[in-house]
Structure 1
Amino acid sequence: MLNYARTVANKVGENEKVMHQIRNNSSEQAFLGDFPMALDEAVMDSSDAHQNQMMQILSNPQVAQGLARVVFDILINRKL
């Protein structure tokens, strides 16, 4: 969930207007501005990206194998 939150935050962070509002207002004021809509848009955009990635993985055995290797390498290199 933390990685997903980072993905969404990065997307929202691309919106200069929202970032200006966040930097120059209290959190309560920022939540009354464009932040909630930008957050919704970022969530929806991430869904499209994940859907696209899922379809590539499921439809292409080479892509699936590449993902499997990356995930395996991440897991094997985790510190115990």
Structure 2
Amino acid sequence: MGAAMDAICDDQGRPMCKLHGLRMLDPAIFQHLPFASADSTNAAVNGGSIGRFGMYAPPTAGQRANVIADRIEAHNSSPIWYRETQVEMTL
């Protein structure tokens, strides 16, 4: 990923085009990458899993998917690429 970001971003870490992260909604990852957009099947797939929510699971799959989406939306992607963060992402 570091090599791709180095090729796509200018010397100040700004992407030369809008970037989309396909299946890249893990906050530990996308917070370090300058994505304009990203997507995942996480909420749709895991909204049906009641066991992930402990004792206080929302009653419907739609509500559970909404909780997952809200948790993801609480984070932003990075505005620029910092080369130093690649080391953090691999640890």
**Greater helix share, structure number:** 1
**Greater strand share, structure number:** 2
Higher Cα Rg: structure 1 or 2?
A: 1
The higher relative CO (CA closer than 8 Å, separation ≥ 6) is in: 2
Which category describes the TM-score, using the shorter chain as reference length? 0.3 to 0.5
Normalised TM-score (structure 2): 0.30
